[in-house]
Structure 1
Amino acid sequence: MGWIALIVLGLIAGLIARAILPGKQTGSLIMTILLGIVGALLGGWIGAQFFGGGLEEFWSLQSWGLAILGALIVLGIYGAIVGRKR
């Protein structure tokens, strides 16, 4: 998967993860998108390490599931860190 596709996948995965996570989200929409991109990278790494395949194709359900899983993890960690400071 190319870098542009990875960025778009992360952007959408971040927005989906934000909608899935309960409670009021801290951070702006831009921060959510950036964390979604990081989450997509994390999801690809998790898929490569544990399932034998990462983010292969843009339209693959495996790629979307891994990207959303990674975005949920990253957004959850970010919310826990930022929420604790307040």
Structure 2
Amino acid sequence: MIGTIISAIVVGLIIGALARLVLPGKQNIGIIVTIILGILGSLIGSFITYKVGYNNANGGWEIIPFVVGIVVAAILIAGYVAVTGRRHKVAR
């Protein structure tokens, strides 16, 4: 269980970056927010995948939780950008 959580966090770092690449346009968010949302996407994606009944009986790299994590992270990033909006600093 702990190994799954740690690997989901490490993979979440990668997932956050890949989710931003999947989304069209430029997202005005920082790297820390990207990492946090990638980790959340990875954890939520892994949770959903295993609750649905996924079992990696053959061993090896688990591609399904990885892809689901990217999709969830992309949804989280899109939601974050929609909620925060595009804030521009106005020079005075």
Aligned residue-pair number: 83
Aligned to 1:38: 40
Instruction: Give, as a single letter, the amino acid of the residue that structure 2 aligns with 1:82.
Output: T
Larger radius of gyration: 2
2:15 counterpart of 1:25: no
Summarize the Cα distance change of 1:18–1:58 in structure 2 as closer, same or farther, 3 Å threshold: farther
Runs of 4+ in 1 over 2 A off after TM superposition: none
Q: 5+ unaligned residues in a row in structure 1: which ranges?
A: none
Instruction: Give, as a single letter, the amino acid of the residue that structure 2 aligns with 1:29.
Output: I
TM-score if structure 1 supplies the norm length? 0.79
Q: 5+ unaligned residues in a row in structure 2: which ranges?
A: 88-92
Greater helix content: 1
SS of 2:24's partner is: coil
1:58 CA displacement? 8.0
TM-score if structure 2 supplies the norm length? 0.75
CA RMSD of aligned residues (A): 2.4
